[in-house]
Amino acid sequence: MTIFTLLDFIGTTAFAMSGALTAINKKLDPFGVFIIAFVTAVGGGTLRDIMIGRTPVSWMLDLRYVYLIVFGFALAVIFRKKLDRLRTSLSLFDTVGLSVFTLIGLERGMIWGLHPVICIALGTMTACFGGVIRDILCTEIPVIFRKEIYATVCIAGGIVFFVLKQINLEQDILYIITSAFMIAFRLLAVRYQWCLPTLQRN
């Protein structure tokens, strides 16, 4: 197992926990909580796979994702009363997931021979659309459309990735630098509460 796979697993578990917690706060029943955990973890990659025609979608062919989601769901249920104190750790894992999922989407787009602009769209979709589907299933306007610097991190990461790729960096180094950039960007955005300017009509 490579370090990349390990980070992917951490991200999947963190996304499942984030989904489960949102659903618990919405007072869903355990089945609903599990489904929201599931779609938050795999929704972005599933949408990407469907749109590029890579089917059956990834998680159907690798049960380890299902087990990790069950694990993340169980952790969220067990520690649900203490998670306010663990919020910082969870946010860190989520940020790791964000950066790894973006890289997976970028890579998948390149394997499919798509244009860098589309690859960046696929990276962003992989990282962000699990959360979008989670919010829609809970009938909320997706949080990433409203206030946080989140998708912006993926887009910036994608641009950094393609710029660095021009100078023929080794693949491992390229991945590490791009991930580190996204993680730093996201942590700074959370720390200093950066947000995009709003577009007012009046």
CB of 3 to a copy of itself, least distance (A): 27
| Token pair of 142 as six digits | 């997706």
Rounded least distance, CB 181 to a copy of itself, Å:
18
CB of 141 to a copy of itself, least distance (A): 5
Map tokens 């203490």 to a residue. Answer: 82
The alpha carbon of residue 49 and the mean position of all alpha carbons in its chain are separated, in whole angstroms, by: 15
What does residue 86 show for φ and ψ, rounded to 5 degrees?
-95, 5
Instruction: Select 7 or 40, whichever has its Cβ closest to a copy of itself.
Output: 40
- Interacting residue ranges for a copy of itself, rule: CB under 8 A: 23-33, 35-36, 46, 50-53, 55-57, 60-61, 63, 66, 77, 80-81, 112, 114-115, 117-118, 121, 132, 136-142, 144-147, 151-152, 195-199, 201-202
Read off the amino acid at residue 45: G
Residue closer to a copy of itself, measured from CB, 18 or 46: 46
Q: How far is the CB of 180 from a copy of itself (least distance, A)?
A: 23
Identify which of residues 6 and 64 has a Cβ nearer to a copy of itself in the complex.
Answer: 64
Write out the two tokens for 9: 């697993």
At 112, phi and psi to the nearest 5? -80, 0
Taken in order 69, 70, 71, 77, the sign of the CA dihedral is positive
Integer angstrom CA distances of residue 71 from 28, 37, 118, 132: 19, 10, 33, 22
Return the number of the residue (121 or 182) whose C-beta is nearest a copy of itself: 121
Which residues lie closer than 8 Å to 33 by C-beta, 6 or more apart? 20, 23, 24, 73, 76, 77
CB of 125 to a copy of itself, least distance (A): 10
Residue 177 or 190 with smaller CB distance to a copy of itself: 190
